Each structure stands twice: as C-alpha cells, then as structure tokens.
Amino acid sequence: MRQWFLSACVCVCVVGCSMTSGPPLETLQQIQGEIIRFDADGYVIRDGYGKELRVHAAPSARVDSNLSTGDTVLVHIAAPYQAKTRYAQAVYHFSDIGTVYGELTEKNRSSITVKDTAGDEVDLSLDQHSVGYGKPQPGDRIFVKTYQAPYEGEVQEFGDGTYIVRDITGREVRYERDETPQSPDPTARRRAIEHPALRHDRPYAREIYLYSDPLALQGTLLRRDDGLYAVTGSEDLPLILGQATRRDSQEQPGEKVFVVVSPLPIIQASSIEKL
C-alpha cells in the first residue's frame, strides 16, 4: 500500500511538472529551446516547458551562423519582455479594390456570397487554392482578399514576356509571363486560364478571414515613436511589421487596415548560441 502511494505521488509530481508553463517571460534573462521553424524575421523556438515563442535578433545581436530547424539554442534576452507587442502575419488595406468584407450568406464548393457593408451581395469564385482561416460558415462576418480571376480566351499577341488575350466578351487583357502556369505558344491559339472551374466574370477569393477570430482585428494604423506600428481600436496594440509580413503595399499611418496577428509571444535577443 505504501509503495502504491509513493508511486502515485511520483506520477502526480511528473504530471504536475509537465503541465507547468514555466516562469513568467518578464523575469527571464535567457531561454533555452529548440528551433522549430524560422522565416526572414526571426526564429520560432519551443522551450523546455513546451511553450513556443518568436525570437527576433536585435540589430547588434550575436547570432551563430548556420542555424537550422532542430538545433538547440541558448537565447540571451536583450530587453524586458513586452506582453502586448505582437508580430503581424498580414496587414491588408480596407479598400474597394481587392477586398470584400461583410456577412457570409452562401457557401458551396465553387463559390461564396458575401453581403457587404453597403448591403450588396458579392459573388466570389473558390477553388482548391482558396485559403479559409477559421472555417467560416453562413452568418459569419468575414474579410476576403481577392484578385480578378484569369480570363478564358485566345492569345492575340506575344512578345517581351507579355501577351494579350481576348476573352469571350471581346475584352482584351494583358498578362505577364509569370501570371500563368506555362508560357503560351506564340504560334498557336490557346486557352489562357489558370483554373478552369473559375468564372472569369467575378473575383476569386484568395484568403478568407473570420472577423470573430481573436487573431484578426481591424483598426487604424499608427506609427509609434519607438519605431513600432500599432493598430488602434479601444486601445493600441503594438505591432512588428517585418519582411515576412504579408502586405498589400507600404501602409501609411492613418489608413484603415485588417491585421492577422501571430499568437506567439515575441522577445528580442542580444545573442543566439547553438548548443
């Protein structure tokens, strides 16, 4: 009986230790963990407690060369952790061109219908490359990045990396070479369409975001004195916009934007050493 009790205590201790989240980031001066992925702006590291966080190297940081996924590293923290600061995965303009936002009213395998803020219904084509974040359903409020679906038609001219296609309505459209999966044959009349399931007369839904997603927000973009951006709503949310952030263009302070925020805590490192 005593042996069973001791074993149970050990099990409880192990489970309790494995479930702990570790000391607060605000109190740490260094972190040890494994690199699980990285991009142009930083490393995502999983520490010994299983917590994932983004690590950005300060401008003067010492970073070991040839770091790769799976390496164990020791990160020295350059500045106190700021809990509110987040990394912006995507920043998009709210505009009449290239974006649709409103209520999702219909959804099927090849299209969705969105009732926008003016009460107009907008039909958007879908295919297997459309990306939906949060699996929106009819009744949800969504924000959609779009582009005009490729036209189906015949090649009229070709040269210098561009060609002109006349669609079935007689409208002529100029394409760059890299906008199609393969270069057209200048000696033959060919169809020029990327996705046969798409209708050429309505936009294509490229990325779909839920308004209700806690990682998606809308607001006014501000520039802060410390070099960070922020989106202001009921309160400011400091954002880091980096090379890996998906963006329409160079946003300007005062513009209305839609932002997808990384859920990971972000810290700045004075050094990253491979162990």
Condensed to tens digits (0 to 9), the pLDDT of residues 156-191 reads 655 665 666 665 556 566 655 544 444 444 443 344
Tell me, what's the pLDDT at 253? 83
pLDDT at 170: 61
Q: Is the pTM of this model over 0.75?
A: no
Residue 83 has pLDDT above 70, yes or no: yes
Q: Is residue 266's pLDDT more than 50?
A: yes
Q: What average pLDDT does the segment 205-225 reach?
A: 81
CATH code where residue 226 lies: 2.40.50
Average confidence score pLDDT of the chain = 76
What token pair was written down for 207? 């990325």
Higher pLDDT, 226 or 41: 41
Nearest in space to 82 (alpha carbons), one of 152, 11, 138, 26:
26
High-pLDDT (> 70) share of the chain, %? 71
pLDDT of res. 110: 78
Cα(41)–Cα(239) distance, integer angstroms: 13
Residue 171 shares a structural domain with residue 239 = no
Is 74's pLDDT higher than 60? Answer: yes
Task: For residues 166 and 253, state if they share a domain.
Answer: no
Most confident of the ranges 68-72, 100-104, 261-265 = 68-72
Do 158 and 253 belong together in one domain? no
Query: Does the pLDDT at position 8 exceed 60?
Result: no
The residues that bridge with 125 in the sheet, in sequence order, are: 111, 204
Within a domain: 94: yes
Report the alpha-carbon distance of residue 90 to residue 112 in Å, rounded. Answer: 22
Domain annotation covers residue 33: no
Dihedral of the alpha carbons of 191, 192, 196, 202, in degrees to the nearest 10 = -130
Residues 6+ apart with CB under 8 A from 151: 165, 167, 171, 173, 192, 193, 200
- Record the tokens describing residue 48, joined without a space: 């010994």
Residue 157 inside a domain? The answer is yes
Same domain, 107 and 130: yes
Q: Is residue 45 part of a domain?
A: no
267 versus 133: which is more confidently predicted? Answer: 267
Question: Do 218 and 172 share a structural domain?
Answer: no
- Position 77 pLDDT exceeds 90: yes
Query: Which residue range is the domain that position 133 belongs to?
Result: 89-147+206-261
Percent of the chain surpassing pLDDT 90: 23
Place of tokens 């070099």: 227
For residue 32, pLDDT beyond 90? yes
- Classify residue 122: in a domain, yes or no: yes
Question: For residues 229 and 237, is the Cβ–Cβ distance under 8 A?
Answer: no
Say what the pLDDT of residue 258 is: 85
- Same domain (yes/no): 211, 257: yes
Residue 174 forms part of a structural domain: yes
For residues 225 and 128, state if they share a domain.
Answer: yes
Residue at a domain's end among 165, 194, 223: 194
Bridge-based pairing of strands 52-63 and 266-274 is parallel
Q: Do the domain assignments include residue 222? A: yes
194, 223, 250 - which closes a domain: 194
- Provide the number of structural domains found in the chain: 2
- Structure confidence at residue 214 as a pLDDT band (50, 70, 90): confident
